[in-house]
């Protein structure tokens, strides 16, 4: 991730501050940090000394983060910090219940002795921002996705209390669950004959023959 961030900074060097632009212009590399290094692969990894590793993916299903967790999870001296939510069914979500052991990718069972810390972090809008957006746009339907199931349901219930259910519908579907939305629209019809002699009252039943022109 450090290498990726450095690549972005070099690409958008014109948006950096003056010191960074000057260093780049004179051939000095401002992205060579004293204590931050990129890890190309786990084969080049040496964990003989204390360190902090930022590894992906955050769900710990596979990849470098899963490899390191399985390697370190049995040692009480180690710790895991998980920022943001985790999807139900993933190892990251399972770890929130602090299990005593987990099954590795190879099928073996290993003890989980390290400390596990969850940090609530999200780059998305919070309750206040979401409520203000709904109030400004007045959508007919609001579908909650990309979040923890319980958190989404709690947010939907809190938002639903502020709006008339006939005006705004809040939905929290499961993954891959289809959602059907109804969009009632008004249709204008021209009337002739006795039906047009008096203005009908609101809600009163009418008897007439409806003709469609060009399927409209």
pLDDT at position 214 is 65
C-alpha distance across the termini of the chain, in Å: 55
β-bridge mates for residue 80, sequence order: 116
Q: Look at the alpha carbons of 104, 107, 111, 117 in this order and tell me if their dihedral is positive or negative.
A: positive
- For 130-167, the pLDDT digits (tens) are 889 999 998 999 998 877 788 888 889 999 999 998 88
pLDDT at position 112 is 97
Percent of the chain with pLDDT over 70: 91
Threshold 0.75, pTM exceeds: no
> Which pLDDT band holds residue 210 (cuts at 50, 70, 90)?
confident
> Which pLDDT band holds residue 73 (cuts at 50, 70, 90)?
very high
Catalytic residues: 124
Higher pLDDT, 64 or 194: 64
3-state secondary structure of 141: strand
pLDDT at 215 over 70: no
Q: CA 6, CA 12: separation in Å to the nearest integer? A: 10
Angle at the Cα of 171 from the Cα atoms of 169 and 177, rounded to 5 degrees: 140
Any idea what DSSP says for residue 115?
E
Q: CA 94, CA 51: separation in Å to the nearest integer? A: 25
């Amino acid at each position: 991730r450090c290498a990726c961030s450095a690549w972005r900074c070099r690409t958008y060097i014109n948006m950096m501050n003056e010191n960074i632009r000057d260093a780049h212009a004179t051939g000095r590399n401002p992205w060579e940090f004293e204590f931050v290094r990129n890890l190309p692969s786990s084969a080049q990894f040496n964990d003989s000394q204390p360190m902090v590793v930022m590894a992906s993916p955050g769900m710990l299903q596979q990849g470098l983060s899963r490899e390191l967790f399985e390697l370190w999870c049995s040692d009480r001296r180690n710790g895991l910090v998980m920022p943001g939510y985790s999807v139900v069914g993933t190892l990251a979500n399972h770890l929130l219940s602090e299990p005593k052991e987990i099954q590795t990718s190879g099928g073996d069972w290993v003890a989980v002795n390290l400390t596990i810390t969850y940090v609530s972090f999200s780059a998305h809008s919070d309750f206040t921002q979401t409520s203000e957006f709904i109030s400004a746009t007045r959508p007919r339907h609001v579908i909650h996705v990309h979040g923890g199931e319980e958190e989404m349901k709690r947010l939907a219930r809190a938002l639903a209390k502020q709006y008339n259910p006939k005006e705004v519908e809040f939905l929290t579907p499961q993954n891959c669950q289809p959602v059907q939305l109804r969009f009632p629209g008004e249709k204008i019809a021209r009337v002739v004959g006795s039906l047009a002699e008096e203005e009908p009252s609101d809600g009163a039943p009418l008897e007439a023959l409806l003709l469609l022109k060009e399927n409209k």
